[in-house]
Structure 1
Amino acid sequence: MSESRPGIPAKLSERYDIREEIGAGGMAVVFDAWDRRHERAVAVKLIRPELTSKAMVERFEREIAVAARLVHPHVVPVFDSGVEGETMYFVMPRLTGGTLRDRLKAGGGLPLAEVRRLAEQIGGALDYAHGFGLIHRDVKPENILYASGSFLLADFGVARGGSAPGLASGSASTTGAFLGTPSYASPEQLYADRELTTASDQYSFACVLFEALTGQKPFPTQNVVEIVVAHTTEPPPEVSTFRADVPPVMEAALKRALAKQPDDRFPSVAAFLEVFLANLETTAALRQVWTPRTRAAAVLLLVGSLGAGLFVGGRLKDGDPADRARSIAVLPCRNLSGDPAQDYFSDGVTEQIIAQLSALPDLHVINMLSVMRFRGTTKEAREIGRELDADLLVLCTANRQPEGVRIGAQVVDAASGNVLMTRDYTDSTSGILKPQLDASMHIVQALSVTMRGTQRPGPTTTITQDSAYSLYMRGRHAWHRSTLDGLESAGQLLRQAVQQDPNFALAWAGVADVHLSFVGRWMAPPTPQYTAAEAAVASALRAQPSLGEALAARARLRHRRDWNFEGAAQDLRAARRATPSAWQPYLDYAKLMSVQARHEDAITLASTGLRLDPLNALNVLGLAEILYHARRFDDALVQVDRAIELEPEFAFNQLWRAMILISLARPEDAARAALRATQLAGRHPGMLAILARAEADAGRPEMARELLREMRRASAVAYVPPTLEAVVHIGLGDRDAAVDALTRAVGERDWFISELAVHPLADGVRDDPRVRALLTQMGLERVPTPGPAVPAAASGRRSAIE
């Protein structure tokens, strides 16, 4: 055992071989060290003893416990921490790529692409930490590490807790004690007698981005008094005076984030990023952002403390297939309790592992609806991997009993079937949420997966009571049935969940989705459903402002009801950052692009979402819809037939097949598909409308008119969207009746009316001046007139989509 270095507690030296000093600041000293127990290089950070007080120690122990739970690809994890005598310390990985400060020493600022990457990665890390109520308090270039092409935020050991993101911190206050670095400190932090909010980190981060762009700090003086005066009273210089290529929107975002008063800044770091990165929204940049594996190599080693649970098993060896993995599928967790009512708990474990895996770099994580097809499967690993295009499979079991919970997991190489790792988790309680979170987090941490490519933000978890969470999981379980009964059951369970916990953001987002699904699929009256969905979204975002599911629901409202296409796009970009493994924001964004005739962008987005959930019939059908609006009818038919193979009893698959066949001038085939849809959906108005249109196109107008009369009779007891009537009238050549129906659709905010500019079945009236006026009312007057159908052979993309 080596002797303790001066100033290093003896017990700390027993665990770590403390080597040379590698950094020092006003708060701490950092040493290069070797972790004897785990045989790995680490960095040990010692808080200066003169800062130690009883209150500081209590706060440090409380907040470092939260910081140690952060699992994010751009947060340097905390391996160990503690207090030895008067010395507070924490241990993190020893990364050798240097810091942002090292990269800034050359002067002149960084390339714009690198600044954007810095903003997205570190901003995402801050927003993630703020979701846990943590305020970093010392965001500066020295605490931003660089490793294998990616930026990582370090030093959460001096973070402080807040009562909620964006709100003033409570019991963790240390009035009168300044912790941080003056050159990057917010005005309220410099005063040291004010409560801090997440807006303080936003200000510090804006200072860092200012320096990354210009090569100098906003207030470059070295005199501490002058720094304080400048930060609290002087406006920062214009970025454009130092650098001409900085986009105006980026400069404007920085100016607001550097406001002296916290309330004048953005409501969150995520909102700041939304504006700062807004210039990325061009076709070329959009493709770059959403095309996987396009950025520099990055390495993330997720190794953490075991927490409350106990894990046993091995670890992956160098050269294992996981080192080469690019796609992973978590098969449905098997319920070993013997009680089918516990299926929702097992599904929750599956979802939590998927959510945690989505934080790993450039890893395609197959979504829930695709993997659920393999519940109880007897297929071999190689066959499953081929169907899902997955390199690795995670097989798990869950046994929840009154005396406790046991969760096991195996990682399997899909190509060989070899078991690469085994983990077993036990919890002596019979809870729901905590075992799912702890088990999934540590299963993923234990993988120590080495990945390359685009880094993604980690998941933010809504914490609630077990009873409400149980209702939420049962609601999600019902949702996956994709039936009207399942949707109604999901709505009841989710509403019960929010009654038990009014701050349960995920459940509120689910309530919003239920209302929107009633409008979009089951033809409920739009106005009351939109109003209820809007209220649910507001409740979700009050509880968790950056919740991806709530932002995606608000985007659908902005698209379908408000025709606020730019606002919807902003929400979907934020939702994609918040839930990077989710397919729905990609498909929703694709539909948003589609109604504006941005077809190539729409196809790219929908195809990317499909890679995340390849066996989800709704996702496949979504791509068919996008191709249909782009008039690639043959390609659309290929996709809809795939959807039918996946879900042969799903009526909407047949409905879309009928529409495509109508546009391919095959009305008899279309009528057969539409008739099958009506059989599956029980004379659903949407199915009747497409059947009537097929009959009209087939030269049977009386049959079409009889079906139209049936739709009108149905409207006495159920809502029939006017767009459906318009589709039939167009087929019958009744132009005035069609325009009247479309006018009513605009007034009623019909879910489908935003597709008017591009939908092939509206071709018969789109040139009418009254219809052009409707398009102007919706802000779609600049959408180009649709061109002719694109043959599959001419598109040059069919094989890639398949």
Structure 2
Amino acid sequence: MVLELREKLQSLLGDDLTIERELGGGGMARVFLAHERELDRRIVIKVILPDVAGAVSAERFKREIQLAAKLQHPHIVPVINAVSAGDLLYYTMPYVDGESLAMRLSRAGAVPVGEAIHILRDSIRALAYAHRHGVVHRDIKPANILLSEDSALVADFGIAKALSDAGGADRGLTTVGLSVGTPAYMAPEQSVGDAVDQRADIYSLGAVAYEMLSGAHVFAGKTAQQVMAAHVMETPAPLQTKAPLVSAALANLVMRCLEKDPNSRPQSADDLLHELDAAVTPSSGTVSVASARGRSRPVAIAASILLALLLLGGGALAFTPKDKLATAMALMRRKPAQLHTNRVIVAPFTNDTGNPKLASLGSMAADWLAQGLSRAGGLEVVDARTAMVTGDVVDKTPWPFRSRDRGKAIAEETGSGILISGTIYQDGDSLRISAKMTDVLSGKVLLVLTPISGPAAAPTKILDALTKRAVANIVQARDPDRVFALGEYSEIPSVEAYDELLKGIEGYFRGDTSGYAHLEKAIAIDSSYPTPVVFLAFSRLYRGDFAIAKKLLARAETLRNVMAPADRAMTDHLEALMRADGSAALAAAQQFMAVTPGSQESPLLLASVALSISRPHTALAALEHVDPDRGLNLAGPFYWTYEAGAYIALGKFRQALDFSRAGVKRFPDERMANSYEESLAALGKWMS
């Protein structure tokens, strides 16, 4: 990939610039050293990686870089220009003859105190100048501090903001699993997606200073996930315990830079420079205004920051957790996903058409392909609604608490060992769909499908062809001797009907009735499409609209032969509830769970039905299939409530209290969980 990127870049640069070698790179860019013939000088070219470049607006990126390029300071490496050519996005800057602070630390360990102070002073001066001109760096780290002779220079000013702002609200870098900045040095408020100012740079420089003086990262020995969490929650070990030769004044200043609360840090780089001068001048009795200012309690600050952890992706849906702190802790501590080698999930396809009329086509492609695989048999197939809900949960779960790749993260949440993913392109009046099958654990691509093409005016025909070809190829690849038939199923609905279905489901999960109109519209657009009928019946019945639900179920019965297995099982369940037939409702819930592998919700449905007809053992058996740290269990206390309810029914009150307390600990605001603990304590049964 690097060789291909280098060749493509060289062809764009022409004869004036010759790439000499690669200097390295990170999660967002590759770095090359080039020789500029006309001026006979070396320059550095940083190429934004394609998956990152694809998520940003090239024009907005270039505008932000132009603003940063105006910074002219002896301790700032200037940006020469930013270029968008073809599918490449890159910027250039002068080559600094020397090494980065990261290289220096790797080569020689801790930096002598005098030299470290010199590097800090130069870096602070660069920050002070940039901050006065309205530019916050956002990615201060040893790799961006360059050492040349007796000076330190800060590189990549404005790059993090350029990438972030160029991402925009609807094409941000979180959609490709990337956050702007380096988690190892990122301020707590930046880690959780809050607005940042110059004090975030001061925190990051504090982390760099700690590493320079001690020879080890402030949270050494932790994984990337643990480091990011530690920046938010943990108080670092005092610097003097790691570097006893550092004066108390300097050590205290570094630790103040690492305060969780931005208000407790030096408030500007100018303040920091003055405090540094005071700290390294023994005769000075200076006490800064910032150091005399009252500070917020660290625990309270950490908690308030963590409350935003699951909101990094934007506005919260109805199932976004109310108790973000406890949920964040669960995410940090949860075990790796248990993958089932025979379970497959079709992730919503990436939609690169740019056509708003086809916005739902990616979800639609995944839905129909999953239905086709389910009908073919031989695999556990995660149904489309489970994939959709899980995708929303994944989107609200920040990296590094999940895999960067969205499809892989969805697969892990559902325990799927096989991932099918794809991309939809539009070339003029034609659509083209590509797809592949990947082993989730190893990352090995197991099968690449020949792309399907067709007229953009007839997307459903293309999806039908995709389903038939993909199912045939996937089944044959896994078992060449198998003979199968897809059987009878409903025709693929129109894109308009499917779009209304998605809006209806979203309305339901927001907890309001706005989805009814969308579901009714989907039914009106395509009367032969069973899913919106079943889902509307489900939502109406569970809101107590029994007369409407009864009519919808009668209509659903006329479509039974073309229903997907999950729709059929749910219809049976709803009809049994309407008849008040508990045993039939339980049997249908068991069938629903069987045809929705990977769902964290279907075992909860089964448990609730079992408890309602006094079958606590059945409820506990269903709950064994639930991972309380995944899926919608991150959003509500149902798992703990049902566990407690089952043990109450069995007279095992100690176990019931344990689960109810665990639910209260995770969701202290939820009355459903609180009621169990309150009732158990009031009855005194937990004492038995």
Q: TM-score range by the shorter chain?
A: 0.3 to 0.5
Give the structure-1-normalised TM-score.
0.33
